[in-house]
Amino acid sequence: MGAERFDVVVVGAGISGIGAGVHLGDKSPDRSFVILEGRENIGGTWDLFKYPGIRSDSDMHTLGYEFKPWKSEKSIADGPSIMEYLKETVAEYDLERHIRFGERVVRAEWSTASATWTVHTARNDGSQGVFECNYLFMCAGYYSYKSGYLPEFRGRERFTGRVVHPQEWPDDLDYTDKRVVVIGSGATAVTLVPAMADTAAHVTMLQRSPTYMVSRPDRDAFANFLRKILPAQLAYNITRAKNTWRQQLVYNRTRTRPEEIKNLLLGGIQLELGGRYPIKKHFTPKYNPWDQRLCLVPNSDLFAAIRSGRASVVTDTIETFTETGILLSSGQHLPADVIVTATGLQLVTVGEAEFMVDGEPVDFSQTRTYKGMSYSDVPNLATSFGYINASWTLRADLTCTYVCRLLNHMRDTGTRQCTPRLRSGETDMPRRPWIDGFSSGYMQRVMHLMPSQGDREPWINPQNYDKDKKMFREGAVDDGVMQFTNPATSDRTPASSGAAAS
């Protein structure tokens, strides 16, 4: 069977890929596209993770799409509500006919001669698929769906209870009246502990080091008021602008006045837990706020669980697992019936696929990032990667807008190829990390595999929504760096559209 041909192949039907489909249909309606999804359902993260309490860690007025208002009273949403929002988006924009499920991309090969990406997929039945396109848009997220990150724990085989990772949560796990230890202090652990504490005998959050946390209501009173008096899209736009402004303001303040923000965060936790609680030991990191991502505690649920005695925090390191729990380096033993290893994700580059350009393998660690979305000397390829200091979808929406601008410019100029190229004087730019000033372990473990930044635009990956808005929406597409070449030939066969044409 021959390859199926489309103008654009989008990889992934999660929050980024669904958004890409909507933007393509709206801004580049003359381009045919298909969305390849390796799983059997849409949703990505929100379909994969099933652990108790799964929710957003940012507000849905910014995590939601710019084109589809979030209408629920809760701005911090649970996983099923987010899945429903994504299903509504697919239905409203007639995207299901564009999606091919069970198509896991394993290899992509670019040919300059034909201006074509040939995309190879593996299917669950063991067969293979082949798709051809002019432009490849990777929206498959940033972590491996195969398994989460799991450090080596000495003595793990001795433990007689259940050990589970949040990424592979078993349907049959009953922790009612059980003693639970959750290893970790990130967003997943902070979500799990209060959710499990509702029915467990006791839940202990075991952390090697603390994380900054901030409590806020799961409802946005301002947004709910606006929705009563204004049209839904207008109310949503105002709330979205307010929240993005606030996110950027807080982040900027952590860069310029870290001690001030630190004291505000710790003071809030001290008020929640009381003056005698050892905040310094359990809630005071050694780094500054936003050197790692802040953890959201909606409605102070974690602190309420600690106050009630249903949950506790232990800051220590693990010596070994035992038959009945975990022995800590301090000599303390934590009894457990269930151990949850909320130890993070395994990050990957560009969807775990192999890439070739004109027969040569692509080593993304040797490339420079172009606007945080494309790669030097790699043609017709973009990756959707959101913010680490704000909501993911803010940047995903902007990236989609820019990809459509590129596609439209190629159409208007009769070219088939757009490639970011370093200009004279840029080859010796300093190599800065792909994301600056972010020390989280999950990111540091793979930073050496990622493209690097330079010291000037457009070879940067700014974590700033206002700067990105200007760069993606207003900046020149033909900027002297993005090279538009490979004129279309008169006998070019148009992309087959079939059921997936825009």
Q: Of 25-29, 99-103, 228-232, 289-293, give the lowest mean pLDDT range.
A: 289-293
Q: Does residue 279 surpass a pLDDT of 70? A: yes
Q: How far apart are CA 237 and CA 61, in angstroms?
A: 8
Domain 4-146+346-491 in CATH 3.50.50.60 = yes
- 179-183 vs 295-298, strand pairing mode: unpaired
Pairs from 267-270 (Cβ < 8 Å, separation ≥ 24): 268/214, 268/215, 269/213, 269/215, 269/303
Which 8-state DSSP code applies to residue 498? G
Q: Of 2-16, 426-440, 451-465, 488-502, give the lowest mean pLDDT range.
A: 488-502
**By three-state DSSP, how is residue 283 classified?**
helix
The size of the chain, in residues, is: 502
8 A C-beta contact, residue 43 and residue 141: no
Q: Name the amino acid, one letter, at 399.
A: T
Q: Does residue 441 surpass a pLDDT of 80? A: no
Does the N-terminal peptide bond of residue 458 adopt cis geometry, omega within 30 degrees of 0? yes
- If residue 395 lies in a helix (H) or strand (E), which one and from where to where? helix 392-413
Whether 156-220+273-341 and 4-146+346-491 are alike in CATH topology: the answer is: yes
The vertex-267 CA angle with 264 and 271, nearest 5°, equals: 140
Q: Does residue 486 surpass a pLDDT of 60? A: yes
User: What would the mean pLDDT of 235-262 be, rounded to a whole number?
Assistant: 94
Q: Of 96-105, 290-299, 435-444, give the lowest mean pLDDT range.
A: 435-444
Residue written as tokens 């972590």?
Answer: 143
User: What would the mean pLDDT of 454-465 be, rounded to a whole number?
Assistant: 91
Q: Does residue 81 surpass a pLDDT of 70? A: yes
Reported as a single tens digit per residue, the pLDDT across 96-146 is 999 999 999 999 999 999 999 999 999 989 999 999 999 999 999 989 999
In terms of phi and psi (left: phi > 0; alpha: psi -120 to 50; beta: otherwise), the region of 339 is beta
Reported as a single tens digit per residue, the pLDDT across 182-197 is 999 999 999 999 999 9
User: What would the mean pLDDT of 144-171 be, rounded to a whole number?
Assistant: 95
Reported as a single tens digit per residue, the pLDDT across 378-402 is 999 999 999 988 899 999 999 999 9
- pTM, two decimal places: 0.94
Annotation: CATH topology of 156-220+273-341: FAD/NAD(P)-binding domain (3.50.50)
Q: Please give the share of the chain, as a percent, with pLDDT higher than 90.
A: 86
Reported as a single tens digit per residue, the pLDDT across 166-180 is 999 999 999 999 999
Q: How far apart are CA 386 and CA 468, in angstroms?
A: 11
Report the b/e string of 54-84 with b at 16+ CB within 10 A: bbbbbbbbbbbbbebbbebebbbbbbebbbe
> In the structure, what pLDDT confidence band is assigned to residue 280 with cuts at 50, 70 and 90?
very high
Query: Domain ranges in the chain?
Result: 4-146+346-491, 156-220+273-341
The vertex-410 CA angle with 408 and 411, nearest 5°, equals: 65
Reported as a single tens digit per residue, the pLDDT across 60-78 is 999 999 999 999 999 999 9
**What's the pLDDT score for residue 449?**
83
**What's the pLDDT score for residue 293?**
86
**By three-state DSSP, how is residue 482 classified?**
strand
User: What would the mean pLDDT of 452-474 be, rounded to a whole number?
Assistant: 92
**What's the pLDDT score for residue 103?**
98
**What's the pLDDT score for residue 1?**
61
**What's the pLDDT score for residue 494?**
41
Reported as a single tens digit per residue, the pLDDT across 133-148 is 999 999 999 899 999 9
> In the structure, what pLDDT confidence band is assigned to residue 479 with cuts at 50, 70 and 90?
very high
The vertex-178 CA angle with 173 and 180, nearest 5°, equals: 85
Q: Does residue 467 surpass a pLDDT of 60? A: yes
Q: Please give the share of the chain, as a percent, with pLDDT higher than 70.
A: 97
Q: Does residue 335 surpass a pLDDT of 70? A: yes
Mean pLDDT estimate for the chain: 94
Which 8-state DSSP code applies to residue 145? S
